[in-house]
Chain A
Amino acid sequence: MAVNTGGEKEVIHQPFEYFAPKTINEALKLLNKYREDAKILAGGQSLVPMMNLGIVSPKYVIDINNIGKLSEIRENKNQITIAPLVRHYEIAESKIIKRAIPMLSEAASHIGDMHIRHRGTIGGAICHADPAADYAPVLAALDAKLEIQSVKRRRIVSARNFFKDAFTTELKPNELLKAIHIQKVGQRTGTAYQKLEFVSGGYAVVGVAALVALDGEGLIEKLVVSVGGVERRPITIVFNGDVLGRKIENATIEEICGAVKDKISEPLSDIHADGEYRRSMAAVYTKRAVLKAANRALGGE
């Protein structure tokens, strides 16, 4: 069939060379060669629209969708390892993740819409580092370990240090996110993600991830809260002595929410919500997330 092969009316103006490597090594070599001029293409749910709009104009596009090894969810006794190409719908539906880390499935099921979840990937979302995206606070609360690989070097960075600024991560131009390692949460430990969105699947105006561990008497043994959408990077608070050992009751919750509010110094203000509103809502959603996580720690839903 005779066909138009394009080139005259492409939406994306900047010409680029397209690579579809089949192995991680091949991808790393390309990345090492082209560095800042290259972009890794995973699900493309942010990158391709940004290219369509001319916001990002890479000269080399390295599509990693053909690297089969990057699409697995693996589980061992203490840990779950998620490869970067695992798509949002898979994380939302995965029995392994639902059972071991319910808030991760919860966060995935609220990203965009069904079509976007079919295509978008966890690795792409993390590396894109939109401050209003859902995975960042969840992974920060879980202290997930991100395995980063370049041609010569492999290193592990905690999700708490990975997000540097809006759309800016710890990744160097020649590095690829290779895996996400998450410790399974222990017994009597619950997790929950609560999100304020103005339209179904919208970006988080506020997204709060909470991890609560209770001891045999129902007293707080461990509490981590991470808030996304409010500042340029997630704000993570690992609570210490003041809250530990106390019961989940109104006074405790108020103190937790107060600590979260105090930690927010430069809240984002935009057409969706001003900074003070975000700060207030961060407290409201912290309360919901902590209560839900605590309930799950006790075996509830």
Chain B
Amino acid sequence: MVNKVKVNLKLNGERFSAEIDPRMLLCDFIRDVAGLTGTHIGCMTGNCGACTVLMNGRTVKSCTILAAQANGSDITTIEGLSKGLELNPIQRAFHKRYAVQCGYCTPGMIITAHYLLSLGKTLSRQEIREHISGNLCRCTGYQNIIDAIEELLRDKGLLR
């Protein structure tokens, strides 16, 4: 029997704590312990980006982080970006541009888009492509996803 570890963190703005097996990954903690199933799990090897969340304001892949490592951190998942059933502007843009096919990569894509918008930096279409290179869409629906992010940046005057 191994030791359990205590994890105290902020999850979508609220304090959350649990005692867990140290082997538990942050993505499993979010889904199975906190019950937030909006964060998807794809590859478990840090390749696909379906499990992307914000950790202390920066995007990370939650399958490459032990839940124990998130102790004391501030985690935002897809559920933390909108109020209940109301879509946020990023979700609306994805909806409008049909930037969703099967939807599996969508939470990670939206977290990444949210982070890019929060940077307040001017980006070109090519730079958007580079910035989302950590998020794979196996439907290959990239054009519409990039269109949606482009539109969001244009609305803020941040499209080069």
- Report yes or no: B133 in contact with A201, Cβ–Cβ below 8 A: yes
* Residue interface mask B42-79, A partner, CB < 8 A = 1: 00111001001001001111011110110100000000
- Does chain A have a CB within 8 A of B86? no
Minimal beta-carbon separation of B143 from chain A (angstroms): 16
- The residues of A that contact B25 with a CB separation of less than 8 Å are 10-12, 48, 52
List A26-41 residues whose CB lies under 8 Å from chain B: 41
Minimal beta-carbon separation of B101 from chain A (angstroms): 21
> Contact partner of B28 among A6, A48, A119, CB < 8 A?
A6
- Does chain A have a CB within 8 A of B20? yes
> Contact partner of B134 among A6, A12, A16, A115, CB < 8 A?
A115
Minimal beta-carbon separation of A180 from chain B (angstroms): 22
Count residues of chain B with CB under 8 A from any CB of chain A: 42
List A184-219 residues whose CB lies under 8 Å from chain B: 199-201
- The residues of A that contact B147 with a CB separation of less than 8 Å are none
- Inter-chain CA distance A114–B44, complex, in Å, is 17
- Does chain A have a CB within 8 A of B24? yes
Instruction: Report whether over half of chain A's contact residues are helix, strand or loop; otherwise say mixed.
Output: loop
Which of A1, A7, A48, A52 lies at the interface centre, i.e. has the most chain B CB atoms within 10 A of its CB?
Answer: A48
- Report yes or no: A48 in contact with B33, Cβ–Cβ below 8 A: no
19 cross-chain CB contacts under 8 A: A4-B32, A6-B32, A6-B33, A11-B28, A15-B21, A17-B22, A41-B66, A44-B65, A45-B64, A53-B44, A63-B66, A89-B58, A112-B134, A113-B135, A114-B131, A114-B133, A115-B59, A115-B60, A118-B59
Closest 10 CB pairs of A and B: A113-B134, A18-B22, A6-B21, A10-B23, A12-B23, A49-B45, A15-B2, A200-B133, A118-B58, A6-B24
Residue numbers of A with Cβ under 8 A of B are 1, 3-7, 9-12, 14-18, 20, 41, 44-45, 48-49, 52-53, 61, 63, 65, 89, 112-116, 118-119, 199-201
